[in-house]
Amino acid sequence: MPDAAMIPRIAKCLNVDAGRLFHLAAESDEIPNVIMVDDNEVILSHSLNVLGEVMPDAAITGFIWPAEAIEYAKMNRVTLAVLDIELGTASGLELCHTLHEINPCTNIVFLTAYPDYALDAWKTEANGFMVKPLTPEDVRKQLTKLRYPFLTGGTGA
């Protein structure tokens, strides 16, 4: 499987749309790797259950500490990252940038209790924004808007 930077080059050589190649790559038999980062354990636990309901065939991992999520992303290709914006002393906005440095094709969706952050979130590479508490309907809606869609094996994208 070529890395994300090679797909546009391959598309140009084959005279096909790069988006189509990205879509085909997303349809591979690889299990989607989904991470959730929230410093509130109760919210994290609830949100992981919701994500599991919507994406039963995805590998879903939760993190309280952004540094652990970064290390995980360095070792695993993350398909979707659901990030809280306020992570204690850390920033979900900065985490978004770091995850995109690791893999530019990671879909990022912010989840926050503060809708006022929406404008800041849209200044990042994020695909979406949801307000807490997370619901299956919100997740399904966001999955249809991802820049790099993937198969969830459930009732999602």
Give the pairing of strands 107-112 and 33-37. unpaired
Q: Is residue 88 over pLDDT 70?
A: yes
Chain segment 45-57, per-residue pLDDT in tens: 999 999 999 999 9
Write out pLDDT tens, residues 112-147: 887 776 666 667 778 888 989 999 999 999 999 898
Q: Would the pLDDT of 155 be above 50?
A: no
Mode of pairing for the β-strands spanning 80-84 and 33-37: parallel
Distance CA 59, CA 26 (A): 15
Which residue bears the tokens 């992570």?
Answer: 87
Task: Decide: 64 and 44 in contact? Cβ < 8 Å.
Answer: yes
* Separation CA 151–CA 24 (nearest Å): 11
For the chain, domains (ranges, CATH) are: 1-29 (no CATH), 31-143 (3.40.50.2300)
